[in-house]
Amino acid sequence: MSEQPTTGPIGVFDSGYGGLTILRSLRETLPEYDYLYLGDNARAPYGTRSFDIVTDFTRQAVDYLFSRGCPLVILACNTASAKALRTIQQRWLPVSDDPSRRVLGVIRPTAEHIGRVSRNGHVGVFATPGTIASQSYNMEIAKLHPAFTVTGHACPLWVPLVENGEADGPGADYFVKKDIEALLRADPDIDTVILGCTHYPLLYNKIRKHMPQHVTILRQGEIVAESLADYLRRHPEMDRRLTRNATAEFLTTECPDRFSALAATFLDDDVEASRAILS
Ligand code: DGL
């Protein structure tokens, strides 16, 4: 174990651009902290990859963020949270060179929050094929709210629509409407839908347009930010290790120029990214 606990920024990891929707909320809720964002754009999407590959890639990313001094890493990616978080927390972190570092995901806070929102306990989840196949939302929500009915629906085309800049185009209307109809056919009583993929908030306007008005649509950014604020209140030993100069640094495994240009549109802010090589 290291003699001095590392101090540094909060690491935020996503397979690509989607986690920027989480970072944005983190910076709004906890603006004083430093953040180091890593997007594995060169290997995205993760949503259709196998359990082992997502776990391997995510472990490499967490290792990289640790090596850059982050004492705490948020997996701001549902697919990575669904497939890799448990293995990282239970098998890898305890035998790493500093087991006091922490890795947190986005599914548990969302499952906790849903109990305060759904009125009739009928919940829908839109997510990648990997997250839906993992049944992570069904399991986490069942632990906390056993009476709830959770219906998942995979939307394999939503991430490519966002990544290709088509979120506001007519193709997005077609697929969003089709997927909403399929979800509501499976459970017409759904009153709350979780956007269980960090890319989906970028399709929010289309989703709202085609979703019946009585259905609440949950975006995860604020939920994750509130949950982190609560975690830091309960864990002052971790809070003390986080530096506070209100900075954000961006890393990508793809071309930094391309990342900077697209990230700026996601964040409404200038972004200068640099390249990270994971192994
Ligand atoms: N950002 C990922 C998630 O939240 C989806 C993108 C991907 O498939 O890589 O699930």
Ligand 1, closest atom to CA 18?
1
Ligand 1 nearest atom to the CA of residue 200, by list position: 4
State the pLDDT at residue 268: 82
Residues within a 6 A CB radius of ligand 1 = 14-16, 18, 44-47, 77-79, 128, 131, 159, 197-199
> Does 125 score more than 80 pLDDT?
yes
pLDDT(184) > 80: yes
The percentage of residues in the chain with a pLDDT greater than 90, rounded to a whole number, is 88
Distance 237 CA to ligand 1 centre (A): 31
pLDDT score, position 265: 72
Portion of the chain with pLDDT greater than 70, in percent: 99
User: Beta-carbon neighbour count of residue 149 at 10 Å?
Assistant: 17
Residues marked as catalytic? 77, 197
How far does residue 179's CA lie from ligand 1's centre (Å)? 17
Q: Enter the pTM of the model.
A: 0.94
pLDDT per residue as tens digits for the range 204-247: 999 999 999 999 999 999 999 999 999 999 999 999 999 999 99
Would you say residue 72 has pLDDT above 80?
A: yes
- Which one, of 184, 162, 185, lies nearest residue 172 by Cα? 162
Residue-averaged pLDDT of the chain: 95
Out of 24, 77, 132, 157, mutate this one to test ligand 1's pocket (max ligand atoms within 8 Å of CB): namely: 77
> What is the model's pLDDT at position 2?
47
Q: What is the pLDDT of residue 269?
A: 84
How many residues appear in the chain? 279
- The pLDDT-based confidence of 3 (bands split at 50, 70, 90) is low
Q: Specify the amino acid at residue 166.
A: E
pLDDT of residue 162: 86
Ligand 1 atom showing the smallest separation from residue 79 Cα: 10
C-alpha of residue 239 to centroid of ligand 1, in Å: 28
Measure 5 CA to ligand 1 centroid, in angstroms. Answer: 31
* Residue 190 near residue 124 (C-beta atoms within 8 A): yes
> What confidence category does residue 137 fall into, taking pLDDT thresholds of 50, 70 and 90?
very high
Q: Mention every residue, 6+ apart, whose C-beta is less than 8 A from residue 79.
A: 15, 46, 47, 49, 54, 127, 128, 130, 131, 197
Give the Cα separation of 62 and 112 in Å (integer): 24
